[in-house]
Each structure stands twice: as structure tokens, then as C-alpha cells.
Structure 1
Amino acid sequence: MTSDPASTNFLNWFTSIPGASISPKCALTTIPGRGRCMVATTDIDEDETLVSIPRNIIFSVEKSPLHNIMGEQLDAMGPWQSLILCMIYETRPGADWAPYFGVLPLTRDQELDTLVYWQDEELEVLKGCEILQRIGKDEAEAMFRDDVMPVIQRNRNLFEGTCIDFNMLEDSVIEWGHKMASTIMAYSFDVQRPGAADADMAMDDDEDIDDVEEPDPGNAFKGMVPIADMLNADIDNNCFIVQTNTHLEVMSVSPIRKGDELLNDYGSMPQAELLRRYGYITPNYAQFDVVDLNHKIIVKAISRHAPPEVVEGMDQKVDFLLDTEVLEDIYDLDRDFKPPSELYVAIKILSLPTQEFLQLKAEDKLPESTSSSEKKEYKRILAKVIAARLEEYHPDETLESLNLPANEKSRRRMEMAREVVRGEKEVLRDLLSKLH
């Protein structure tokens, strides 16, 4: 169905590998706003094998040609750093994996829409969203400078002719480090080794760029899986990926009509995380939206109207409650959130005069529960806390009257950001209505 040279070259490469196959019932194509993906060319029944991917075609550090040259050095590095280096090495002319890397968004900046590439004015729309703290751009660039660049410098002969420009080494390493890391974040899988107890395979959906711990290397490894990583996802998925000892297979889990897109499932991922990792959102994931509530907002809300004898020494109460885990550092508020009884106990203790708190603590008589009348009062306080959290976002009128730019990419980004904020504010407002 698709006719661009990169896709044709990739498909010729893929199908030339023994054991690799694509059903004639589906095809690779490009959909505006969705990127390169797969669609059904005819009706597909449930439980059909659509793509068969031999394990030897999965790109990983172990399978990389670079590993044959400097395997010991790569094995001593973290999984992100080593995989980035191996991917950079494959950008040299005539590289073994060049047809595959040619269809990934590595040389086409217009397809990279993850948050690390957003401009400040685009990110500003997300004011109040915790996801802004998880972009990790500065941490990533420090990793590129400290871990990736020295290896390239020491092995210049290996990386000459790759995407790296040695005349502007640091800038080039940072540029390509971001491209490779964004590609890993959006496309990689945690692949189970043959015979591992857990045969499920999922997108690498719980790891940040600065989290360099890999799943148990005896059971799994981080890999790039051709074809499988080109499937977009939705909660109403119509296919999934299964593993055997020799292959990974894309299977249909429901009938798929001609022309419909083949969709995998990312699991219960909030829209904000979808945007951070993949650069797009879908309303079907709004049901998983989550808002973080830092304990500091609770403390601030109580302190705002409390008398001096309660506010003085507040840090002692906070430290005690955090240490005893009565108070959590951060609460994840989702659409089904119900305030735990411990939270009301924490509010009760935080509202005590400090001297009374110290005396009760010394006598080991601190309250461990709240009465129904007390809980009613603490619900009122919690409602103020939720209202204060809402104030951290842009007001509705500001969001709805955004001066959207003419540039299509920036407009799309700001519209997606606005939808993320709407979803998170809806979570808070639903909780607020339950507290009143």
C-alpha cells in the first residue's frame, strides 16, 4: 500500500530474512497524524497470524555488529547508553540494519513530537501537569556528554562516517542522543528471552531515560522489533504480540475490517504519559488520567488558615508522618480515587498544635482514626487542597482562548497539551464533587 522508497527498501529487507513474513491481508502505510503504521487490506478474522518476526531480526545490544567489536565495554554500560551507541553505529553507509533504521523517525525531525522537542511556549500550556517534571532533558544531555560522547571520542575510527559530526562533536552527540533515546522510548520493547517464565511482551512503558536499570537480564532485554514497533496503539486494540522460542508474532484478537488500522495496546497509560513517550494522545486513554498531589500542597492548605501554634513546628509533624507512612509523599489521584483513612488521620495530626502533637507522640497516644464528625471537617479541608491543586493549572478561560499559532506542528502540540490539562482538571473536579 505504501510506495515511498524507504518503506519499499525496508519491506524487501524484512521479507528477505528466513522466517520473516507479513500476511497479504495487511500492509505498511502512512496516515497523516499517525505516522507509519499497518492497516488491513482485506477483512481479517480473529486469531490470525499477521506478522511473523524471527528473533534474530530483533535489534539489541547483543545482536548489534558493534557488540562484536567492543562487547565488553558495551556490557559494562547501562542499557540506554549502550543501545544508543549501537544505533548510532548503524547509521554508517551500508550498515546491516540500515533499511530498518531508514523507516524510523531518526532523520525526519517533523516526526519527532515527544515532549523533549517541544518549545517553551508549547510546554507552557501544560503548566500544572506533573509530566513536565519527567521530561528529563537536562539529565539526558548530561548522560550523552558523560557516558556516550567519551566512548565515541575513544573509538573515532568506528564512528567516522556515522551520523556524528566530529567537527561539532558535543552538539552532534546531544542531537543524535535525543533522537536515539526518543526512538528507544517510543519504539523499544522489553523482550523475554526464550524459555523465560513470563511470555508476555509489552512496550517498554515504565522506564524513563534517566532510569538505567534494565529488567532482569537473565529473563529479558531491551530490543527494537521491526514491524511490531510500527503498530500504533489504542485501548480498543485489535491485535497483540505473542512470543515463541523462535519468533514474535502479531496476532489479531478480534475481527478487523478492510481499511482499519492494526492497533496494539499500551496498557493503562494516562494521556500525559502517552504524550511524553509517543508524542500523541487519544481520547480512549483519558479514562486513565492521573493527577499527582504532593503532600506539600496539603501542608500549605492547612497552614494557610491555621493559628500560629499549629503552624510553628509543622515540619516536625510532616517528618513524623512521612517516616511512619501515615502521610504519603505524593498521592496519585485517578478517576476512582478514594481518600484513604490514613490521609484523614494525617490531616488531623497536622492540624494539632505542635506542643500537643509532641506530648501525644511522647506518650504514644497519637490518634489512629477519625470520628465521622471529624472526617466531615477533614473532607472540607481536603476539598480546599484539591481546589489549590486546580489553581496550579491555567484557568479555563486561558486554555479556551489560547492564541494557537499558524504553524501546524505547534498548533497540534498545543491542542494536545490542552486536552491533557482538560483531562487532569476533570479528575480533580470529579473528586471535588465527591467531597462536597
Structure 2
Amino acid sequence: MNSFDGQTQAFVNWLVDEAKIKISDKVEVQDLRAQGQGRALVAVQDILKDEVLFEIPRECLLNAKTSSLVKDHPELKVNLEQELGHWEGLILCILYEKLVKKESSHWFPYFSILPEAEEINSLMYWNDEQLENLKPSLVLTRIGKEAAKNMFDSIAIFITTHGLRDEISPLSWDLFVHVASIIMSYSFDVELPEKQSNDQEDGQDENEEYENECIARDGYMKSMVPLADILNSNTNRCNAHLTYSSTTLKMFAIADIPKNGQIFNIYGDHPNAEILRRYGYVEWGGSKFDFAEVRLQNVADIICNKFNITETKFEKLIKIFQENVTINELLEDESIILESYDCYNDGTILPEIIILLQILCTFLSMDLVEKYVDDEIIESQLERVTKKCTQLISGGRITSMVCDLWKQIVCAREKEYPSHASREQVIQLNQYLNTDGLRNNMASEVLRNEFQCLQKCEDSIKNEFTIIDDQKLLNNVLKRKSTNEQNSMPEKRQKI
């Protein structure tokens, strides 16, 4: 047997003999590298919906409660759970297994099948040239290197503070990133068994007991779950689901699975860009949950050009939306000012952008920014417009200008994408052998998926609302204003 096959067989033997995982005779771990997928779980017989594929005892999970670290250093158990977050805690536990326990670790056969750093394609491993191929996707703003550095520092401090430096050493950045990437790709947030009443002291609320985020305060624990993480994820082909009981985790079939069919889980409602960032792969043909993002700056550019106002004045209005108490009450404390607005592959767009555009269109059509220099007057009028616009939208109506401006905003965002984002691409299987070629193809797929989402959202707003003339809404707003002014100036009313 070659190394890959040998490691697979040793892992499967460990699952049954050491981890005591009950595995159905109808499934098998297979090598799908020829399809660019690595190890996967495949049906070797027809499987019916609701059949149990495997059952995992909780004690074979690797987390902050089961690791060798807390067994070898029981005095650290409380510190580990109360001082560190889920990520930091699990990273530290895996580091201890790899650097201290090594081949004697209970999970060594499991670690042997996890990918090496050079096999991982999550965005933390992409170089600057490769990341350049993802522009203008906003996934580039969420890679998280700064947060990772802070996490690295907190773990290093914990190691030093609690006397682990001689054992967990050296803690290199590369090793940290490798372990963190493994956790990102393979871990589960496992629900904890229901706590007994005596776990609570004097009825104290656990959420108030700990000031900072930590393992002890939550009802779940980030864990490595051997075998469950062998399943590849596919948002369009998911046919299995992991459930929790007080003693075990069970993977059920949620659909009939034919012989030779692959068994898929799902990692979450993620678009391809986020799947790539987190897990280092994409779903060719697109994720079921793909979306693109229109930036607030795109909105600013189109609005400023349409109404001939400066960006400073636009920012002034945005600040009012963020700080005005009355407006926030009218919006039910749901902020409509976001850094970006999602545009989904089914044509759905966020309601926040519709509300924002309707208010801005109506308010700026009244020329109030130029007419009034008094901030209080501007805020008062903006409150009035917000009330009218929210009433209009809740009634399923918007004005035609909102539709026109939204299309301009989306088209402006589309122009930021490279020309190849609008074209179909053919993926050759042999390109998986080349890291640069694979990452280039994955970047192209992400951009293509996002561009398609933008296209589908250009005119979709018209299908969701009844379109009315802008002047009709404007007259409604100005009518109340005119009446109030007349009531405050009786002499003018007498002249009419």
C-alpha cells in the first residue's frame, strides 16, 4: 500500500477498534483524489432516507474537555475553559497532541490523514499575486490575518503564563496557521449535553458569570469529530445530517443515496467566496447560497452624481441615519447603513438598501440639503421622509427612481469585475495538480458566481414591489409640510 492508502486504512481501523465508532456496512472511506476531492465517504450499497450512517461516542471527540492537555494538567482545566475562546482552546489542545504526545496521542491515526500545510487552499495560504485574482470580491476584506495574529499572541501568553513553554515549544506562526486552518476546515461546534440543575450555582445566569467570551459560557464546544469531517460538503447535493444526543453523535441520511453515490454534509449557508475563504475549495457551478455585495461607496457615487451633492454631504446624511434616535425608532432599531449590501443568486436583495434608497431619493428630491444649513431642520425633515417612506415600503410600494438608481448602482458594481467574470469557464481535471492553476480557477469561479448574482438582481426589485411615480410620494410629503407652514403663518393664508 502507498502512504495515502496505508494512512486511510490505519485511520479506519482506529475508528472501529480504538474510537469505538459504529459504522454502517453500507458506507466506505474512499480515495477520490482523481476527482480532486481527496478522501470521501461513499455508499457501497443503496441507502434509504433516515438510515444511520455512523454513530460517534462523545469521548472520541477532541476538544477542551477530552484532550491530553487537561488529562496531563488537570489544574489547567478551569483556566482553559474560562480564559480562552473556543478557537484558542482547541488550537492549544491540538498543539499539545502534536508537539507533546506525538505518536502516543490517542488521535495520532486521525491526525495522519489531515492535510499538510501545502495541501490547504484556504485564503490564509494564498500569496499576494493569487489574492489579486479575487479582486473585486469583498471576501478579500475578511481573510482575518490581523485577528489571527491577535489569537496567536493570546495563545503564546497562555502558554507562558501557565508554565507550558517547555512542552509546547517552539510555537511558530506557520504551525499556528496550519492548526487554525485545520480547525477552520474540519471542526464542528458540538452542542453540549443538557446540563443538570446542580451545574448552576444559586441560579446564576452563566452569561453573566464571565465577562469575556470563553469556552465555559456557551452551550457548545468547538470539537474535532473524526469521520464526520471526512464527508465533503455540497450545498446543492447535501444528503446527510449530524445530530446530537447526550452520549453520541449520529450521522443520518436525509435522502435516499444510491450505491456508489457520495455522501455529502453541509458546512453552512455559505457562498462560494466564503467556502473558499474558510475551507479552501469552491463548488464548481456555484453554491446554492451564492451572493454578491454592492458597496456603500457604490451607492454614494450614484446618489452624489444624480443629485449633484458632495460626498461630504452624503456622509452627513449617513451619520444622521446612524445617530438620530427618532429615525432609528422608525426603523425599529435595524440599521440600514451597512458597508455592503448582499445580492443573492435568486434575485433577492437586502431590504435595507431599498429603504435607504427610497429615503435618500425622496429627501434629496426636496433639495433640503442645499436649502437648509441648520442640522436640526435637516434632521426633522429627514425624520418626516423616513416615516413616509417606511409606510410606503411596508405597503409593498416603491418609486420608479429607486428602481432606476438601483440598476445604476448594480451596473457600476459589475464594471468593477474583470471581463472573464461574465464568461463560462471549463475546468480541466489535470489542473488540480498545479496549485497556481487551481487557485486561479477557484478565483475565477468566485468572481463568475458573484457577477451572475449581480445580473440577477439588476431588475428583480420590480418583481417585488408595485412601482409608483416619485412625484406622488413627494407631493404626499410636501403636502403635510405645506399645511404646517400655513398654520404657522396666518397672514399668508389670509392673502390667498
After TM superposition, the score normalised by the length of structure 2 is 0.74
Cα distance in 1 for partners of 2:56, 2:350 equals 46
> What does 1:294-305 correspond to in 2, within 5 Å?
294-305=295-306
Residues 397 and 191 (structure 1 numbering): CA distance in 2 closer, same or farther, change over 3 Å?
A: closer
CA contact (8 A) 2:42 2:261 kept: yes
Indicate yes or no: 2:446 matched with 1:420.
yes
Cα deviation for residue 226 of structure 1 reads 0.7
Indicate yes or no: 2:178 matched with 1:179.
yes
Residues 398 and 408 (structure 1 numbering): CA distance in 2 closer, same or farther, change over 3 Å?
A: farther
CA contact (8 A) 1:299 1:350 kept: no
Residues 138 and 350 (structure 1 numbering): CA distance in 2 closer, same or farther, change over 3 Å?
A: farther
CA contact (8 A) 2:84 2:214 kept: no
Partner of 1:43: 46
> What does 1:190-339 correspond to in 2, within 5 Å?
190-195=189-194, 213=213, 217-234=217-234, 235-283=236-284, 285-308=286-309, 313-323=313-323, 324-325=327-328, 327-329=336-338, 330-334=340-344, 335-338=346-349
Cα deviation for residue 378 of structure 1 reads 2.8
Cα deviation for residue 124 of structure 1 reads 1.3
Residues 363 and 26 (structure 1 numbering): CA distance in 2 closer, same or farther, change over 3 Å?
A: closer
Cα distance in 2 for partners of 1:215, 1:66 equals 15
Residues 86 and 338 (structure 1 numbering): CA distance in 2 closer, same or farther, change over 3 Å?
A: closer
Q: Which structure is larger by alpha-carbon Rg, 1 or 2?
A: 2
The counterpart of 1:387, out of the listed 411, 419, 433, is 411
Cα deviation for residue 336 of structure 1 reads 3.5
Partner of 1:206: none
Cα deviation for residue 114 of structure 1 reads 0.8
CA contact (8 A) 1:321 1:346 kept: no
Q: One-letter code of the match for 1:410?
A: D
Partner of 1:205: none
Cα distance in 2 for partners of 1:49, 1:23 equals 7
Cα distance in 1 for partners of 2:461, 2:80 equals 54
Cα distance in 2 for partners of 1:333, 1:398 equals 16
Cα deviation for residue 301 of structure 1 reads 1.7
Residues 332 and 350 (structure 1 numbering): CA distance in 2 closer, same or farther, change over 3 Å?
A: farther
Cα deviation for residue 275 of structure 1 reads 1.1
Q: Give the gaps of 5 or more residues in structure 1.
A: 198-211
Cα distance in 2 for partners of 1:43, 1:401 equals 34
Q: Deviation per CA, 1:66-85: give whole Å up to 9, x if none.
A: 02313233221121112111
Cα deviation for residue 300 of structure 1 reads 2.1
Partner of 1:342: 355
CA contact (8 A) 2:185 2:278 kept: yes
The counterpart of 1:79, out of the listed 83, 86, 92, is 86
> What does 1:342-361 correspond to in 2, within 5 Å?
342-343=355-356, 344-350=358-364, 352-356=367-371, 358=375, 359-361=377-379
Secondary structure of 2:241's counterpart equals strand
Q: One-letter code of the match for 1:49?
A: V
Cα distance in 2 for partners of 1:55, 1:374 equals 53
Partner of 2:13: 12
Secondary structure of 1:328's counterpart equals coil
Q: Deviation per CA, 1:124-156: give whole Å up to 9, x if none.
A: 121011111111123212321x11223445423
Residues 55 and 122 (structure 1 numbering): CA distance in 2 closer, same or farther, change over 3 Å?
A: same
Partner of 1:142: 150
Q: Give the gaps of 5 or more residues in structure 2.
A: 197-211, 463-496
Cα distance in 2 for partners of 1:339, 1:253 equals 31
Residues 110 and 250 (structure 1 numbering): CA distance in 2 closer, same or farther, change over 3 Å?
A: same
Cα distance in 2 for partners of 1:397, 1:22 equals 43
Residues 249 and 354 (structure 1 numbering): CA distance in 2 closer, same or farther, change over 3 Å?
A: same
CA contact (8 A) 1:399 1:418 kept: no
CA contact (8 A) 1:386 1:432 kept: yes
Cα distance in 2 for partners of 1:61, 1:18 equals 17
Cα distance in 2 for partners of 1:419, 1:101 equals 31
Cα deviation for residue 224 of structure 1 reads 0.8
The counterpart of 1:56, out of the listed 47, 56, 59, is 59
Q: One-letter code of the match for 2:21?
A: A
Secondary structure of 1:158's counterpart equals coil
Cα distance in 1 for partners of 2:15, 2:459 equals 54
| Percent identity (aligned) | 29
Cα distance in 1 for partners of 2:276, 2:408 equals 29
Cα deviation for residue 9 of structure 1 reads 2.1
Q: Please identify which structure carries the higher helix content.
A: 2
Partner of 1:155: 164
Number of equivalent positions: 407
Secondary structure of 2:124's counterpart equals helix
Q: 228-237 or 279-288: which moved more?
A: 279-288
